[in-house]
Structure 1
Amino acid sequence: MSLTFTDIFCGAGGSSIGLTAAGLQLRLAANHWQRAIETHSANFRDAEHLCADVNNYDMRRLPSTDVLWASPICTEASPAGGRPSRTCTVPGQGDLLEAFGPISRKGFERTRATFWDVIRATEVHRYRVVLVENVPDVARWELFDHWVAGMLLLGYRVQYVSVSSAHIGDQRNLHAPQWRDRLYLVFTRTGIELPDVDPHPVAWCQTCSVDVHAVQAWKKPDRRRIGKYRQQYVYVCPNAVCRNSVVEPYVLPAAAAIDWSDLGRRIGDRAEPLADNTMTRIRAGLSMFADRHVLLTVNHAGHDGRAHPADAAPLPAQTKRIGNGIISPPMLVPAGGTWNNTASAVTAPMRTRTAREAEALLTPEPFIAVLRKHGTAHSIDQPLRTIAAGGHHHALVVPYRRGNKPTTTGDPLRTMSTRDSGALVQPAVAVEDCRFRMLKPREQLRAQRFPDTYQVLGNVGEQTMQAGNAVSANVAQWLGQQVTTALDQ
């Protein structure tokens, strides 16, 4: 018989997706917001659903299950976060409610219930394991340690798990392409074996020249191990031979979540200009990423296949086969808000998704240059000119040694010498020629590792909020797998 679980702050269903993928059976999902319950029930038809403010609910009416998942409190309703936010605006870009559809005030002001409801439910049902998810900063709440002590008095042991969603995953549980630092508290009833919930993401150790299962190394000793990646902890190689070198775990890039069939509108063609702050951020992003070409080997046996900046290392051995690609990545640009002010490359995970999305996809407009007499450049959305046998549609490789002539990228590279002798020419990118659009709800959901087949109901604003408030499904699945292993034993 499958282990069962209750999800009392289910939201759109990220935690339920993960736990069911780990083999647990959902008995009941609860949330105060009707739209979230409509979404959840559309995907988990066999489970019971409750739309109620759990603060005022008699916990004896909940089913008794093996596991309880709870995601209490968020930035709108946290005792550590001050007064609830009353608005949902994107400065300089208009009001999100007006742009993407109205969201009920109840959905904003009471997105989660409080921690005390976890104790009330646990006191009645004495779950075998209780999983609680929240932001690491909640540990600053002055009553946090007292709340943990309350769970210990009920007969539980606690494990603190601080991890980013970007670092959890394997071949059967794909990573989330998003930086999302969260604190997970695993309460196991006394007498039950503790699950192994120490994260060990796969990383490449440069010194050992091998993939390793990295371990967390905390900058300051803390028995609770609560913090954020790079700020309070890093990952190191477990091998002593390299003296536990700091390593960088593999991650899934933001590009994996983006719908590349829609690049947005050309900025210069917009009827309503973008806000000045957004334009400033775009220019700053272009200065960082638009000229950052990347080389990728795609067909050479024995090569690790890693991408690397074109200006950071020599070309690999050249063969008669076309085996290297050059990439100039698009970027994600903040289009409002205050906490997110810089652009980021799509080759890295997305920033933390929020209920108030204000990030856009920016793509430099590609074009084709005709390199014959009287030839001109034209956009790729226009029909391709007649192709001649000579192949005149290329970019340029320009030599900067005396006596050499420019060649196209369609010709083989000249013999590589010990001195740099060639450069790739790329024209400067004008902001007006870039394409721009806001990220879609489905892209936000992919960043939380929701499958594309998952139905999320409501207007664009409501879908965005559900995605931003969701639990990353890959982390819930990992925790569910570890808990299941411990309970089976």
Structure 2
Amino acid sequence: MLNRLFPDDIDVVEMFAGGGGSGTGIAAVPGTKIKFAANHAKPAKWTYVENHPDVNFWLGDVQAADAIEKFPYASFFWASPACPAFSTASGETRYFDKENQMALWADDLDNLTEHQKTRIRSRALMEEVVTYLRHCQEKHGKPVLGFGVENVVQARLWAHWDRWIRELRKLGYIIQIHAVNAAHVQGRTTLPSPQSRDRMLISGIHESVGRTPNYRKWFDPYAFCPRHGGWVQAVRAWKKRGADMGVYGIKNGQYVWVCPEVACQGQLIEPPVLPAAYTIDWSDLGTPIGSRKKTKKKPEGLAPKTIARIRAGVEEHWIKPFITPAGGTWNDGPRGVDEPIPALTTREANALVVPCEGRDGKVARPASLPKRTSTTRNEDGIAFPPDAQPGVFPAFLSLM
């Protein structure tokens, strides 16, 4: 029998709530209301409550034996389990795709370091999703009607993945897996995110609902096809047959977007994105590099790797001219000197978002592109031309 949910019937419980970013997105959906959120960190609670003062926030360890008893029932459940233990961004060798099935409970962990044991327990936070959904069925006598789980794409390689999905299906959930880049999410009530952030989303709808959402309607972005000259809802194309998870990228990613028109024969198309410039306070120019304190480790005021990135960015985007148009013209993208450039004005200006910490592969990029994935670390800076005028930079905001 089909359960008909009206917009004012959807209440939400959020686990691993962080500072409230997911909650803000959930609250932007008409008819939803977050009634309970949980996280273990006090700073997260302070930030979350500031953003969502009407939500009942529970501070504690969700892995504690009796923690789940504190959670109320809700129609919808959202969880963002800790992702650093899955991510390879830290440079650690990945082993979570090979770890022992019983690694959490066995006594034979002597060969692992304390750090490795901690990360195994962190990955086990995924188990709390099943725990909550099962708890609602057993204690409240009715299933949570839908849920979403967000994590990094590498979590798809978790050794316990297949068993974890089976547990969810045993509870009656129809599971689908989605690769999502935040910059391509075209919300109906929110602006796009000016950040290129690839994530995995697992969605579940209980079989008692009687139907599943048209996910393509909501997840596949609209883009302009240059071949037939029209806007279309793009179709995801995996580069490797059988893949179901990965990151977006024409050059280095695992999937791309293509035009669905048969006559276009798989024409690559790129969804419009909001530039990093949208989130930058251009009135705050920060501390000039030359004014920073010089130390033995930072002889030029910043770490040598950071200075090298800045110099590379200057050479790429300033010494070799890089033009970003502003205003409401058809010319809506940045161009290098190796491309024909339309009429220039005296108001054109550029800025760079430069990674400050030392991970390999992080390079300078113009603020006319979405910001790269951000973490809680202070790892980005803005490099301005020496004669930068703050009032000029907001011209980036009109790109989209």
Q: Partner amino acid for 1:296?
A: P
Over residues 402-454 of structure 1, what are the superposed CA-to-partner deviations in whole Å (9 max), with x where a residue is unaligned? xxxxxxxxxxxxxxxxxxxxxxxxxxxxxxxxxxxxxxxxxxxxxxxxxxxxx
Alignment partner of 1:194 out of 194, 203, 212:
212
| SS of 1:246 mapped into structure 2 | coil
Matched ranges for 1:201-220 at <5 A: 201-220=221-240
Distance 2:67 2:169 in 1: 22
Residue 294, structure 1, aligned to residue 316, structure 2 = no
Query: Larger Cα Rg: Structure 1 or Structure 2?
Result: 1
| SS of 1:169 mapped into structure 2 | coil
- The offset of 1:77, in angstroms, is 7.3
Alignment partner of 1:124 out of 121, 135, 139:
135
Distance 1:6 1:58 in 2: 14
Q: Is the contact between residue 73 and residue 113 of structure 1 (CA under 8 Å) also seen in structure 2?
A: no
Distance 2:228 2:86 in 1: 47
Alignment partner of 1:71 out of 80, 83, 87:
80
- The offset of 1:297, in angstroms, is 6.6
| SS of 2:204 mapped into structure 1 | strand
Alignment partner of 1:346 out of 367, 376, 379:
367
Q: CA RMSD in A?
A: 2.8
Q: Is the contact between residue 334 and residue 368 of structure 2 (CA under 8 Å) also seen in structure 1?
A: no
Matched ranges for 1:64-143 at <5 A: 64-76=73-85, 80=96, 114-125=125-136, 126-143=143-160
Quick one: structure 1 residues 174 and 286, their matched pair in 2 at CA, closer, same or farther if it must change by over 3 Å?
same
Over residues 5-62 of structure 1, what are the superposed CA-to-partner deviations in whole Å (9 max), with x where a residue is unaligned? 1001101011111111103111110001111112212232222111110111342431
Aligned to 2:198: 181
- The offset of 1:112, in angstroms, is 8.2
TM-score, normalised by the number of residues in structure 1: 0.64
Distance 2:125 2:86 in 1: 8
Distance 1:61 1:145 in 2: 29
Q: Partner amino acid for 1:13?
A: G
Alignment partner of 2:352 out of 295, 317, 331:
331
Residue 151, structure 1, aligned to residue 168, structure 2 = yes
Aligned to 1:277: 305
- The offset of 1:310, in angstroms, is 6.3
Aligned to 2:29: 22
Quick one: structure 1 residues 339 and 58, their matched pair in 2 at CA, closer, same or farther if it must change by over 3 Å?
same
Residue 36, structure 1, aligned to residue 53, structure 2 = no
Q: Is the contact between residue 16 and residue 82 of structure 2 (CA under 8 Å) also seen in structure 1?
A: no
Aligned to 1:59: 68
Over residues 196-230 of structure 1, what are the superposed CA-to-partner deviations in whole Å (9 max), with x where a residue is unaligned? 2232212121111122211111112326x211112
| SS of 2:270 mapped into structure 1 | strand
Q: Is the contact between residue 179 and residue 247 of structure 2 (CA under 8 Å) also seen in structure 1?
A: yes
| SS of 1:248 mapped into structure 2 | coil
| SS of 1:364 mapped into structure 2 | coil
| SS of 2:269 mapped into structure 1 | strand
Over residues 231-273 of structure 1, what are the superposed CA-to-partner deviations in whole Å (9 max), with x where a residue is unaligned? 2110001111211201111001111111100112222232322
Quick one: structure 1 residues 150 and 284, their matched pair in 2 at CA, closer, same or farther if it must change by over 3 Å?
same
Quick one: structure 1 residues 355 and 68, their matched pair in 2 at CA, closer, same or farther if it must change by over 3 Å?
same
- Stretches of structure 2 that go unaligned for 5 or more consecutive residues are 1-7, 88-94, 100-111, 137-142, 295-300, 391-400
Q: How many residues are matched?
A: 339
Aligned to 2:247: 228
Quick one: structure 1 residues 59 and 365, their matched pair in 2 at CA, closer, same or farther if it must change by over 3 Å?
same
Quick one: structure 1 residues 324 and 244, their matched pair in 2 at CA, closer, same or farther if it must change by over 3 Å?
farther
Distance 1:19 1:112 in 2: 24
